[in-house]
C-alpha cells in the first residue's frame, strides 16, 4: 500500500500498552503509531480526530468494555481486540472485529492479525468492498431501502447521511431510508466539496445547510433546510473549521 498505515493502541495497563506498541513497531516499522490511550473516556472523539487505519485495543476497562464503547460506530476502522478473557470473543465479532487475540500476545499471533488488517485495507483501497461500486468512485444517484421498497434518488436531493451501526440512514426532505453500508464506506463515493463530514455519525449535503450556530451548551449545531423543526446536527470539534466565514 502506498499510503502509510496508522494504528491507534488502547490498553489501560501501561506495561501491556508499551509491550503492544513495541511489538507493532518491530513487526511493522513502516507503520505510524497514531496514538496510545489508557482509557475509553474519549475514544470516540479520538477516533474522530486521529482517524487511524487500524485500532488495536484491550477489551476490559474500569469504566466499561471497549466493545460497548465502539458497538454503535460504523465499521470503517478495522478493530483487533486483545484480552485475557475469551468469553468476549463472540461479542467482539458482532462488533465487526477482524481478529480477537488472547493475552499474552504472541508475536506470531499478532503477525497473523496484522496480515488480516493489511488485506482488508488493501481490498478497500482496490475497491473490492461491497456497496455502490469501486471505492473512490463518484456517483450522481443512490438506491436505498425504505420498508420493502428499493428507492432511487438523486444524490443532490439527500440532505444528510447518519451512521446507524452497520448501516447508514439516508435522509431527504420528505422521506428517508437505509443503506447497507457503513457511513465511512458511503463517504468514499461522495464528492468532498458537496458532502461534508461534520461528525463521526453525520455527513451533510453542503447545499442543504441552512445555518450553523452555537447552542446553550456551546456546541456548534447545523440546521438543515426543509427539516428545521426535526433535525439539529451537532458538529464535532475536529470539523468546526469547516464552518468559518468565507468562500468554498
Return d(Cα 34, Cα 49) in angstroms, integer: 10
Judged against a pLDDT cut of 50, whether residue 130 lies above it is answered with no
Return d(Cα 103, Cα 45) in angstroms, integer: 27
- HEC profile of 42-84: CHHHHHHHHCCCEEEEECECCCCEHHHHHCCCCCCCCEEEEEC
- Which tops the pLDDT comparison, 231 or 134? 231
18-27, 84-93, 143-152: lowest mean pLDDT where?
84-93
Q: What is the pLDDT of residue 46?
A: 87
pTM of the model: 0.57
Judged against a pLDDT cut of 50, whether residue 207 lies above it is answered with yes
Return d(Cα 235, Cα 19) in angstroms, integer: 36
106 confidence band (pLDDT: 50, 70, 90): very high
Q: Return the C-alpha cell found at 131.
A: 456497496
33-55, pLDDT tens digit by residue? 999 999 988 888 888 888 899 99
> What structural domains and CATH numbers belong to the chain?
6-125 (3.40.50.2300), 141-243 (2.40.50.1020)
Amino acid at each position: 500500500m502506498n499510503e502509510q498505515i496508522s494504528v491507534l493502541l488502547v490498553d489501560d495497563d501501561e506495561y501491556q500498552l508499551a509491550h503492544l506498541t513495541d511489538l507493532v513497531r518491530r513487526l511493522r516499522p513502516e507503520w505510524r503509531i497514531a496514538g496510545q490511550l489508557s482509557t475509553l473516556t474519549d475514544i470516540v472523539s479520538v477516533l474522530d480526530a486521529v482517524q487511524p487505519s487500524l485500532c488495536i485495543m484491550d477489551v476490559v476497562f474500569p469504566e466499561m468494555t471497549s466493545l460497548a464503547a465502539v458497538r454503535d460506530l460504523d465499521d470503517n476502522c478495522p478493530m483487533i481486540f486483545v484480552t485475557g478473557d475469551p468469553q468476549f470473543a463472540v461479542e467482539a465479532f458482532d462488533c465487526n472485529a477482524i481478529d480477537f487475540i488472547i493475552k499474552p500476545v504472541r508475536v506470531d499471533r499478532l503477525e497473523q492479525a496484522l496480515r488480516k488488517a493489511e488485506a482488508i485495507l488493501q481490498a478497500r483501497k482496490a475497491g473490492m468492498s461491497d456497496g455502490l461500486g469501486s471505492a473512490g468512485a463518484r456517483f450522481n444517484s443512490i438506491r436505498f431501502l425504505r420498508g420493502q421498497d428499493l428507492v432511487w434518488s438523486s444524490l443532490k436531493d439527500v440532505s444528510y447521511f447518519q451512521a446507524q451501526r452497520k448501516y447508514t440512514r439516508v435522509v431527504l426532505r420528505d422521506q428517508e431510508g437505509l443503506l447497507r453500508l457503513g457511513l465511512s464506506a458511503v463517504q468514499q463515493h461522495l464528492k468532498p466539496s458537496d458532502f461534508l463530514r461534520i461528525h463521526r455519525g453525520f455527513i451533510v449535503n453542503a447545499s442543504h445547510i441552512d445555518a450553523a450556530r452555537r447552542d446553550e451548551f456551546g456546541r456548534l449545531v447545523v440546521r438543515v433546510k426543509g427539516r428545521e423543526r426535526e433535525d439539529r446536527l451537532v458538529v464535532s470539534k475536529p470539523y468546526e473549521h469547516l464552518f468559518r466565514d468565507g468562500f468554498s
